[in-house]
Amino acid sequence: MKKINIFMFIILLGCSNSNLDDNIIESESEYVIKSDLTLNKNDIKNKFSYPCKRLNTILPENIQQLPGSNYYFFTEIIKKTSISLVCKEESIVYPIGTGVVTDIKRDAYKVFKENEIFHFYFDRMINEVGYLPSDLKRILYKNYVIVDHGFYFSEGVRAISIYTNLKNIPEELTLGDEVDLNTELGLIDNNGMDVLSLTLLSDDSGNLKAQENVINFEIYFQKDGEEFYLGEGVDLYNNPLYFDELFN
């Protein structure tokens, strides 16, 4: 009888350790940001809305669509800070939540392409520093809209969202405009290559072509003069739907 009890104790101890490991994984998977700023999923008091609405959105199928993953930027491997989602063709892009428009660009990338001197400087600077600086990265947003959400998503932590590679941004949309979930920011632009959300697929002939109808957007949280992107420092556990529960 004593031997059986000892055997059962070993089994229970093993189960206890297994449950402990499960609890650790469950706890780790609750992070939204795990850096100098720590945010958990339950710190998000209002859910985000998918920019093309859930009805028009194909949920992430690959970890490379999420922030925090690595991807190739020309010859460099850099950390992705955006979410890239495939939407229905010609989908309208909306804000992820209520806020105020703080920046709009309608022709930035066109100017970049036509300015050969700056184009040369851009390439040289990236090669020299070995990463994509945020000020240069903004040029690659092409036509974009930035929305300030204040403390709408998390108490005491400011949130901003950036919607890139747009077309047909409404002319009446101006700086300082208050926006909500039904405010149109523009349409997804399929003309040209969006290097920040580039997804290559094989066509019927086996040739690689860029995925179309992709909305690329970024969510940043700011506190005490520092800025952190959604997913920074988080282990996504190879789960493409890691953030889905935070979206309506």
Distance of CA 97 to the CA centre of its chain: 15
Q: What's the pLDDT score for residue 1?
A: 44
Distance CA 159, CA 239 (A): 24
Q: Return the sign of the alpha-carbon dihedral for residues 25, 31, 33, 37.
A: negative
At residue 3, the pLDDT reads 45
Write the CA distances from 50 to 87, 120, 172, 182, 234, integer angstroms: 10, 36, 23, 12, 21
Q: According to the model, what pLDDT value does residue 194 have?
A: 64
Integer Cα distance of 7 and 27 in angstroms: 30
Q: What is the pLDDT of residue 120?
A: 77
- Per-10-residue mean pLDDT, the chain, length 248: 42 42 50 95 97 95 85 67 89 97 83 72 76 75 93 97 93 97 94 61 59 89 96 92 95
Q: What are the angstrom distances between the C-alpha of 84 and each of 115, 163, 170?
A: 28, 10, 22
The pLDDT value given to residue 127: 75
pLDDT at 80: 83
Record the pTM.
0.80
| Per-residue confidence (pLDDT) for residue 140, from 0 to 100 | 77
Confidence (pLDDT) at 199: 55
Query: In whole angstroms, how large is the CA radius of gyration of the chain?
Result: 21
Domains of the chain plus CATH, in order, are 31-106+142-246 (2.70.70.10)
